[in-house]
Structure 1
Amino acid sequence: MLKLAKPNIRQLSKEEMEQYFREMGEKAFRAKQVYEWIWTKQARSFEDMTNLSKELRAKLAENFSLPALTGDLTQHSSDGTIKSRFRTVDGHLVEGVLIPTDDRKTACVSSQIGCSLSCKFCATGYMDRKRNLEFDEIFDEVALINQQSEASYGKKLTNIVFMGMGEPLLNYKNVLKAIEKISSPEGLGMSPRRITVSTAGVAKMIKQLGDDQVRFKLALSLHAATDAKRHEIMPINDTNDIQSLVEALNYFYQKTGNEITFEYILFKDFNDSLEDAAELVKLYRRVPADLINIIEYNPIDLALFEKPDEDKTMQFMQYLEKHRVNVRLRRSRGKDIDAACGQLANK
């Protein structure tokens, strides 16, 4: 949790802000102005709030903090991908990525500083988890990447994926509140249907998403279709096995009807055989999944995995297609700047 000497003004609801201004003897519309500065105009400091008097700005600065995320480093890939490293007010670093295509501008955002899940193929998994990102810090990530998209490509973001650093469902309240702000007309006004939250598989919290009637899409980082293999690469499978995830995903779909995707990275000689494909088909039929994304493996220094050759990948894809699986091959973007899937580690 972020610890600050003064209360974070962005943690106040609109009603709490109105009450604060009333107690100060200020008119109620001042609260609306400040709220707009924070969420609609994305002010980075109280000094930015130019339609407030200097005295009022000074009073706000005296009583509150406004701990905005700041850009620390930007890298541009030869394929147009842009990776940003952001700095938190307490000095931690976290990464986000802008992935542009002809018809989409997607922000890949982080939900934690580091990660506690230790997936063997993921660079973030080899980092310690320092803390969860606050909901306003997640909002900042998206707002800053949106500004980047407008500046570099002349277009606003079309999609957001929570596939950066950390496990979103282990920072449940902040992720949901961030999405609420991102999709609010007072925030970025993005449809929740254009937002995907990706999880390594926390069955209890997948069910909670169903109970909370969320409107965004869900992706499960599967990467192996049997418990024996998944256990080898994803320690979370010890407490969230495939059967519990099947039950949770069916419950989520029954409650929301929202799109579910399986994410499956192909690892050479580990999960890329036709036997593995057959297991994946069986699992696909047990869950109302819309799609399986087959993902190219992106090498990291700390792991010994390799990606299979193109022929093996195509055989795997063709087997799935022959068995009426809706499947798509997701080519990696931003590999030359360590911005691709599984490579984020504040390098």
Structure 2
Amino acid sequence: MSDAQQKNIRHLTYAEIEEYFLQIGDKKFRAKQVYEWLWQKHAHSFEAMTNLSKELRTRLGSDFSLPALLVNTTQHSGDGTIKSRFKTFDGHMVEGVLIPTDNRQTACVSSQIGCSLSCKFCATGYMDRKRNLTFDEIYDEVVLINQQAEKAYNKKLSNIVFMGMGEPLLNYNNVMKAIERITAEDGLAMSPKRITVSTAGVAKMIKKLGDDKVRFKLALSLHAANDEKRNQIMPINESNNIKALIEALNYFYKNTKNEITFEYILFKDLNDGLKDAEELVKIYRQVPADLVNIIEYNPIDAFQFTKPDEESTQQFIQYLEAHKVNAHLRRSRGKDIDAACGQLANKTREEALA
């Protein structure tokens, strides 16, 4: 069978793998062996499936493909953050980050190669969207970052956030399938309550999450508390304005009762004034949100804004807290490496390793 005809074996269901073995005159239990290698032992080649005969491994290799992500390069920050650039089977680059704290090991994963939303403050926003990541590629990101956590910190991942490259809700089916495999007993068996999907705000798809009664948490990248300012930095707001997003978030909560977080990056002289804080309070009161994450900006060359000084940041947070908003300042991690989303994938290999 030629490469063009080969089907990715990880895109087959368990029943389809069973059927394959029966068709070639083998035993059904082979499906269990192969499935374990694919989703629990994380084999990235048929050769690695050592409890199968050499002949069977060769047959599988001729009948199926098994594309997998590979670590292309890693950067280690002084604060313990590990950023990786992964290479896909067709030569694209995508990022993932391990963010360790005293009580958590969090994987920040990507859902697309590039992005179509063009958010002005995001390095990925200046890259064209090449394609969606498949669900097995997203799964590989989590597996590889988990291996880094075990090697560097002797701990497994405790949390996953879909806050890397791309817009998860514009790759809906693959993200849902990836989470299904990550949470499955015969996958990584992680609780969905430890997974957060972050969106720039696709109202229609936020409602679909509610219809599908997902069990994971949702974060909205708000970053400005009125439409005029949000339009400036996030073009998606022109078709998904704040009113539409508030309605969608309430629909999501009504159907799932899952935790909602607002993400809000502070930019000096853009969205960091007390008037901005007042508008943010009004939005917070219209949605059953658990938290507002105030995020320290990690600057990129293409965006003219910078982060505000410490005094302005504290005044902003104090205003929120005085108005009974549960606000948390999330400090930027990996300042000494290419930490901003998309920065590392944007570099050539030579630049990244220089």
TM-score class normalised by the smaller sequence: over 0.9
Query: Residue 65 of structure 1 aligns with which residue?
Result: 65
Q: Is the contact between residue 127 and residue 345 of structure 1 (CA under 8 Å) also seen in structure 2?
A: no
Change (3 A) 1:341 1:288: farther
RMSD: 1.1
Is the partner of 2:7 in helix, strand or coil?
A: coil
2-structure distance, mates of 1:303, 1:21:
55
1-structure distance, mates of 2:120, 2:79:
27
Aligned positions, number? 345
Query: Residue 92 of structure 1 aligns with which residue?
Result: 92
Q: Is the contact between residue 124 and residue 341 of structure 2 (CA under 8 Å) also seen in structure 1?
A: no
Is the partner of 2:261 in helix, strand or coil?
A: strand
Q: Is the contact between residue 46 and residue 60 of structure 1 (CA under 8 Å) also seen in structure 2?
A: yes
Q: Is the contact between residue 96 and residue 109 of structure 1 (CA under 8 Å) also seen in structure 2?
A: yes
Query: Residue 195 of structure 2 aligns with which residue?
Result: 195
Query: Residue 317 of structure 2 aligns with which residue?
Result: 317
| Structure 2, gaps ≥5 residues long | 348-354
2-structure distance, mates of 1:216, 1:344:
28
Is the partner of 2:65 in helix, strand or coil?
A: coil
Query: Residue 120 of structure 2 aligns with which residue?
Result: 120
1-structure distance, mates of 2:128, 2:340:
20
Superposed displacement of residue 159, structure 1: 0.2
CA deviations 1:149-190 (Å, max 9, x no partner) are: 000000000000000000000000000000000111111111
Superposed displacement of residue 4, structure 1: 5.1
Query: Residue 147 of structure 1 aligns with which residue?
Result: 147
2-structure distance, mates of 1:345, 1:215:
31
Q: Is the contact between residue 94 and residue 113 of structure 2 (CA under 8 Å) also seen in structure 1?
A: yes
Query: Residue 270 of structure 1 aligns with which residue?
Result: 270
Is the partner of 1:225 in helix, strand or coil?
A: coil
Q: Which amino acid aligns with 2:188?
A: L
Written as runs of structure 1 = structure 2, the 5 A alignment for 1:24-103 is 24-103=24-103
Superposed displacement of residue 336, structure 1: 1.2
Query: Residue 204 of structure 1 aligns with which residue?
Result: 204
Q: Which amino acid aligns with 1:177?
A: K
Q: Is the contact between residue 120 and residue 303 of structure 2 (CA under 8 Å) also seen in structure 1?
A: yes
CA deviations 1:188-232 (Å, max 9, x no partner) are: 111000000000000000000001010000000000011111001
Is the partner of 2:213 in helix, strand or coil?
A: coil
Superposed displacement of residue 5, structure 1: 4.6
Change (3 A) 1:265 1:332: same
Q: Which amino acid aligns with 2:306?
A: E
**Which consecutive aligned stretches of 4+ in structure 1 deviate over 2 angstroms post-superposition?**
340-347
Superposed displacement of residue 328, structure 1: 0.1
Is the partner of 1:248 in helix, strand or coil?
A: helix
Is the partner of 1:85 in helix, strand or coil?
A: strand
Query: Residue 284 of structure 1 aligns with which residue?
Result: 284
1-structure distance, mates of 2:4, 2:241:
39
Query: Residue 129 of structure 1 aligns with which residue?
Result: 129
Superposed displacement of residue 25, structure 1: 1.0
2-structure distance, mates of 1:65, 1:32:
18
1-structure distance, mates of 2:337, 2:189:
30
Identity %: 75
Query: Residue 352 of structure 2 aligns with which residue?
Result: none
Q: Is the contact between residue 111 and residue 171 of structure 1 (CA under 8 Å) also seen in structure 2?
A: yes
2-structure distance, mates of 1:138, 1:252:
24
Is the partner of 1:46 in helix, strand or coil?
A: coil
Superposed displacement of residue 139, structure 1: 0.1
Q: Is the contact between residue 121 and residue 342 of structure 1 (CA under 8 Å) also seen in structure 2?
A: no
Q: Which amino acid aligns with 1:150?
A: E
Q: Which amino acid aligns with 1:138?
A: I
1-structure distance, mates of 2:249, 2:183:
24
- Which shows bigger deviation, 336-345 or 167-176? 336-345
1-structure distance, mates of 2:55, 2:297:
55
Q: Is the contact between residue 85 and residue 345 of structure 2 (CA under 8 Å) also seen in structure 1?
A: no
Q: Is the contact between residue 298 and residue 342 of structure 1 (CA under 8 Å) also seen in structure 2?
A: no
Superposed displacement of residue 340, structure 1: 4.0
Q: Does 1:242 find its partner at 2:242? A: yes
2-structure distance, mates of 1:151, 1:346:
27
Query: Residue 110 of structure 2 aligns with which residue?
Result: 110
Written as runs of structure 1 = structure 2, the 5 A alignment for 1:325-336 is 325-336=325-336
